[in-house]
């Protein structure tokens, strides 16, 4: 089963914190399939790092994945 934590990063992090507080692990997926330019990929990677740093407990009992795709022109 897949669960969506919300429409924004803040909403997803709030849900993740609630789940972790109940003693469960969480996985967050940050999707960036629409990245076509290098700058977009760099911005997606920076957001990934920000999200990872915002996870409770420094990311213990949590994992995060980045799904960004770039294509050369």
Residue 29: closest CA among 10, 50, 46, 4:
4
Q: Determine the pLDDT at residue 52.
A: 80
Q: Per DSSP, which regions of the chain are E strands?
A: 26-32, 62-68
Q: Quote the pTM value.
A: 0.65
Q: Determine the pLDDT at residue 1.
A: 43
Q: Determine the pLDDT at residue 3.
A: 59
pLDDT tens-digit readout, 27-69: 887 766 667 788 887 888 888 888 888 876 655 677 777 666 6
């Amino acid at each position: 089963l897949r669960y969506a934590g919300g429409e924004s990063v803040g909403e997803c992090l709030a849900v993740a914190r609630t789940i972790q507080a109940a003693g469960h692990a969480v996985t967050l997926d940050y999707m960036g399939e629409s990245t076509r330019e290098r700058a977009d990929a760099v911005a997606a990677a920076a957001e990934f790092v920000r999200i990872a740093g915002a996870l409770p407990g420094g990311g213990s009992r949590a994992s995060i994945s980045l799904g960004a795709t770039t294509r050369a022109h």
